[in-house]
Amino acid sequence: MLAEEVVKIVIAVICISLLVYLLFSLYYKNKDSKDLEIAKASLNYLIEEINLGKTEVTIYNPDGWTLLSWPYTDSKDIIIPKSCSNAGWTSCICLCKTPNRVMRAFYPIRAFSNKCDSIGACLDNTKSIQATWTASGESPVLINVPMTLEIDQNKVIREKLK
């Protein structure tokens, strides 16, 4: 009778674990979907403000995402997300979900491209906008909300220093 009770407890723990996993999966899927809609709206807002000639734009969402301009050219080839190249764009600007701030420093640019394909909002970059947070122009802009971005006359976007 003791072994029978242990089996019931083990089955109950497995079932509860599966339910918890299912709930977390549903929560994060819904959160990613909501963040993607917010990213699309923020990116559209940014482009509209640039088209109006604004030199500063404040972005409020999504926190921890990254603003990138493509293509990125390294010593070997030209990197652009498939979502942009499949749309026939030669240049695009994207807001993409990225790993946490610590891991982001070690994240290769090709991985950013793949991330933009899986969870990212992209628009055709007809204005040749560049998103950067360093003087060298090689690093993407990490969004820490609320964040004010500066747009210079060369259409380079940088985080506004306080």
pLDDT in tens, 20-49: 999 988 887 777 788 888 889 988 998 888
pLDDT for residue 98 is more than 80: no
| CA nearest to 96, candidates 72, 126, 127 | 72
Domain ranges of the chain: 2-159
Beta bridge partners of 135: none
Q: Give the distance, in angstroms, between the CA of residue 50 and the centroid of all CA atoms in the same chain.
A: 20
Checking 101-109 for CB contacts under 8 A at 24+ apart, the result is: 101/64, 101/142, 104/66, 104/142, 109/72, 109/74, 109/79
Give the residue-averaged pLDDT of 120-135: 76
CB 158 within 8 A of CB 135: no
Which amino acid, one-letter code, is at 112? Answer: F
Among 10-19, 32-41, 104-113, which stretch is predicted with the lowest mean pLDDT? 104-113
pLDDT for residue 137 is more than 60: no
In the chain, which ranges are continuous DSSP H helix? Answer: 2-51, 82-86, 101-104, 109-118
How far is the C-alpha of 33 from the C-alpha of 119, rounded, in Å?
9
pLDDT for residue 135 is more than 50: no
* Cis peptide bond prior to 140, omega within 30° of 0: no
Tens-digit pLDDT profile for residues 62-85 = 877 888 888 887 667 788 889 899
